[in-house]
Chain A
């Protein structure tokens, strides 16, 4: 889709819904938005049915703002809280079967490359911790070992939030949740480590405490996936309901957890680093 496709034909603009007019006139298409621009432009996602105070929603909103080419992006998701918000965004969203994100994205990305050899299409698999590393583990790992050229974003709320609070592979050891009545027996899965072993080119761990950093990380992950190989962002997106975090304290929790065990970390392959250096140097 060229940016022209978004623009209505002469005379039609005034007949379109006000929301669409705003997207055309005041949206992020063709521009690079900064975190400080939030509130001053029409975002790709605004309305959503997520819980009040949900940190995941803030992160998803930032991901949408960070998309380097929303007009050429497709998002793949699976069951979980995240898709309730993602499906409300103005980017095509594939809501597949349980845990199929990275398998679906593999076929989709290859198909898009065949159909559009002269136009890069960004594919982003974005879903929860359970969808990615429990039920979707096999597809996730193999997509990484195959070095599939799409970005994977884990919305890590360390629980099955959408189904009512069951433990996931990403839950910390000892946490008492549904299906872990005596506390989770095993350690939180080291998916960063798995990504490294699988040779993922760009790996980042992040909490939504610094919006500017989230935008930069999302752009880096998508650009690396576009040109170099697989990328992975693991984002702490707390579930204030299942972890009983008072709504006003959600961001305090994010800062606390970030400081305690979820500090920002990037693991970048040599070839991805070289590429990012070139891209970012050129922009300066």
Chain B
């Protein structure tokens, strides 16, 4: 703790010295430097380059330091506006308020904070606001714990928001920057959540290659949007975007239905941008394999190692890493798994939401036996041996 000191009169915000570029140039063209940093630090580096106008924070610690790091970035002048809000409903409401004003808004939360802000977050897609929410997953169900578990992701799967699930620190950096741009395309105009499994990624160090901080993303242009910003820069009309559609008549039913259909159509349209910026919405290893593992988040790292060890023993195992949970890369997954015989779906949660997702898209399109697991939750790690044992059992059960 120290006392605040006013900025000198000749102070120049560091963000003002950065050069604006597109996400494509940032992620795919610029040379990169390799660092060894935590997931929270990777988030900080992404935010530093994301040209964020307004970041609103609440201390859901110990899961992540991200939003206090955002505070330091504000102090340095990489973020234009920042404050600590009252709690998560306040954070999510204010973040949407800032986004409605036509500026780029960002916040981060985890587990219980996400649940608390849920009412506000689930209204974002329909409001066609474009904030980016970084989510560091942790236990939400009782007995409460602060350990990693990504069941919270399942609560947001049907809201209409863009959802990315990072495997590691590198993904957290790349996905955050990609999300900041894709959300704001006129044919998208939707919010995004970038999730990462807490502790395993947020608090652990990993290799992250990043471009120079001399660059930042192009600023949000508040005039370019599927719906007008709430800035009163348009001639007045009686029916505002946020007018309640609460009459019990067919006009209101149709208004709501068509609005929601458009939200989910916009979500699908975002896929092409991620396809380019993330070099595909899935990653495939050993596409010719009969045994496949499909998963997202840090389960991918465990599966990756299992695939390597199986390879050393002469067994070819395929891996499908899902990068975008929403829009779900249905066609790519069906194509990747159409010839698989056995499919394993490791997850860090009790609900098995990825298992349900995969089953629903493969139904009738793949003859593989889909194994419901392995799963760990409540903070457990997933040893590679566990994945290999489940693979062996699958071969035995489904010869």
Contact = CB atoms under 8 A, between A and B. Distances in A.
Interface string B169-180: 000000000000
Interface residues of A, number: 48
Most central of A111, A112, A121 by chain B CB within 10 Å = A111
A138 B86 contact: yes
Interface string A101-136: 001111111111111100001000000000000000
B204 interface: no
Contacts of A106: 85, 90, 94, 97
A96 B54 contact: no
Interface of A: 1, 5-6, 19, 23, 44, 70-74, 76, 83-84, 87-100, 103-116, 121, 138-139, 141-142, 146
Contacts, number: 152
A101 B209 CA distance: 42
Contact of B97 (A1, A23, A89, A107): A107
A88 B238 CA distance: 5
B96 A107 contact: yes
Main SS class of interface, A:
helix
A118 to B, nearest CB: 13
A73 B95 CA distance: 19
Interface of B: 53-54, 56, 80-81, 83, 85-87, 89-91, 93-103, 105, 119-120, 123, 222, 229-238, 240-244
Contact of B240 (A87, A99, A115, A142): A87
A90 B230 CA distance: 13
B97 A142 contact: no
Contacts of B230: 74, 92, 94, 108
A142 B238 contact: no
A96 B99 contact: no
Contacts of A74: 230-232
3 closest pairs, A vs B, by CB?
A: A111-B101, A107-B97, A107-B94
Nearest to B247: A49
A7 to B, nearest CB: 9
Given A138-B86, A138-B87, A111 B54 contact: yes
B238 A114 contact: no
Given A94-B230, A113-B81, 8 more contacts: A90-B237, A96-B96, A96-B123, A97-B93, A103-B94, A107-B54, A112-B231, A115-B222
A103 B89 contact: yes
A183 B94 CA distance: 36
Contacts of B120: 96-97, 100
Contacts of A76: 97
A116 B229 CA distance: 13
B101 A142 contact: no
28 contacts: A1-B234, A73-B232, A87-B240, A91-B236, A95-B242, A95-B244, A96-B120, A97-B120, A99-B89, A103-B86, A103-B90, A103-B91, A104-B94, A104-B100, A106-B90, A107-B54, A107-B94, A107-B101, A107-B105, A108-B97, A109-B101, A110-B83, A111-B97, A111-B98, A115-B222, A138-B87, A139-B93, A146-B83
